[in-house]
Amino acid sequence: MTKPSLWIPRRLSDATMARALRDYHVITNPDDTPGTAAEIIAMSAQVDAMLPCHSELFSPAVVAQLDGRLKIIANHSVGIDHCNLPALAERGIFVTNTPDVLSDATAEIAMLLMLGAARHAVAGDRLVRTGAWTSWSPSFMVGKQVTGARLGIIGMGRVGQAFAKKARGFDMEIHYYNRSPLTDAQAMGAVYHSDIDSLLAVSDFLSLHCPATPDTKGLLNKDRLSKMPKGAVIVNTARGALIVEEDLIAVLQSGHIAAAGLDCFQIEPGGNPVLAAFETVFTLPHIGSATTQTRDAMGFRALDNLDSFFAGQKPHDLC
């Protein structure tokens, strides 16, 4: 039986690549660079399936030019905002993602960012590395305590719940906004807010865990940031589009928001150099799911979806 043809534009984990090469006729990109629109369109005539990352953009214009041979896009990501689902559905192209498997890894990064932002990790690291640490006093680098503080979570899905579970280890008081309240067993005592503004008002720390959609783009703007307690800390491990970066810069400059921990930005790669200039902003290059265990799990989940599709079954993670 002829193996289905599969395009993998980015370098995935060794275990993922070994399994893919075993079961599919694989076309790879040795340069490990994002697939361009032209490459995506050209490859659609050569393969039955694609296993892209968030870096490959399937806009309506691109989708309109895809060859009829392409049948399925098995994303190596949970987020699917890089895929125009209506356009792909109209072309009869299946789309899957990789939920569940990266929740803990992303929640770990959110915890790192929250602690780093609250306790002056950027400034402290710079002082030690540059040899500028020459004195100490009780007033030196006093930060914001996490233990016992109120944590607001926007988006209480898999990652949000994983983060809440870890935050309870710091005795944090958990509040959350979600499209609908969780069951009591899922909430584990977390306080539900039916609107974002009431959540913001009680959030000493705020962590974003919702997808980027037309409704959530610019979710945190000047008006909403002003509703937070003075000295609050913002954490974002979801998508850069959720925050109006110019507005965040303004409230950091005014001191209303004390600090931020950011793993994602409006422009990626690259980030925001103005935000990066703040020593009160702890930044990472969108590595929330970057552990060996999680990368293997994401790759295998994507391949599981492909295996199901080519076996004539409905993929488990159909979007």
Residue 188 pLDDT level (bands cut at 50, 70, 90)? very high
Q: What CATH number corresponds to the domain at position 214? A: 3.40.50.720
Answer yes or no: do 258 and 187 share one domain: yes
Q: What pLDDT does residue 83 have?
A: 97
Residue 143's pLDDT is 97
User: Residue with structure tokens 């905002």?
Assistant: 81
DSSP state of 168: G
What average pLDDT does this structure show over 17-46? 97
Catalytic option among 158, 175, 224, 239: 239
* Whole-number pLDDT of residue 173: 98
Cα Rg of the chain (Å, integer) = 21
**The pLDDT value given to residue 229:** 98
The verdict on residue 159 lying in a domain is yes
The per-residue pLDDT for 162 is 98
Q: Are residues 54 and 136 in the same domain?
A: no
| pLDDT for the residue 204 | 98
Catalytic, 286? Answer yes
State the pLDDT at residue 211. Answer: 92
- The answer to whether residue 1 scores a pLDDT higher than 90 is no
What does the pLDDT look like over 47-64, one tens digit per residue? 999 999 999 999 999 999
For residue 209, indicate whether it is catalytic: no
Does residue 115 share a domain with residue 245?
Answer: yes
Give the model's pLDDT for residue 170. Answer: 98
For the chain, the average pLDDT equals: 97
- Same domain for 156 and 267, yes or no, is yes
For residues 79 and 208, membership in a common domain is answered with no
Kindly name the residue from 82, 91, 168, 268 that is annotated as catalytic.
268
Average pLDDT over residues 282-307: 98
- Kindly give the pairing relationship between strand 94-96 and strand 72-74: parallel
The DSSP call for residue 48 is: S
User: Where do the H-state alpha helices sit in 81-221?
Assistant: 85-90, 103-118, 121-129, 158-167, 184-187, 196-201
pLDDT (mean) for 213-223? 96
For tokens 């395009």, what's the residue?
7
Q: Using CA atoms, how far apart are residues 261 and 111, in angstroms rounded to an integer?
A: 9
Flag whether 188 is in a domain.
Answer: yes
Q: Is 156 exposed, middle or buried (0-12, 13-18, 19+ CB in 10 A)?
A: buried
Co-location of 144 and 174 in the same domain = yes
Q: Does 190 share its domain with 69?
A: no
* Token representation of residue 60: 């309506």
Is residue 133 in a domain? yes
pLDDT of the residue at 236: 98
Q: Is 25 a catalytic residue?
A: no
State the pTM of this model. Answer: 0.92
pLDDT at 193: 98
Range of the domain at 58: 5-101+292-310
Looking at the fold, whether 75 and 211 belong to one and the same domain comes out as: no
Supply the DSSP symbol for 169: G
Work out the percent of the chain whose per-residue pLDDT is above 70.
100
pLDDT exceeds 80 at position 108:
yes
Mark whether 140 and 219 lie in a shared domain.
yes
Q: Would you say residue 306 lies in a domain?
A: yes
- Same domain, yes or no, for 159 and 250? yes
What are the CA-CA distances from residue 160 to residues 26, 192, 235 (Å)?
35, 13, 12
Rounded to an integer, the average pLDDT of 212-231 is: 96
Selecting among 158, 286, 295, 301, the annotated active-site residue is 286
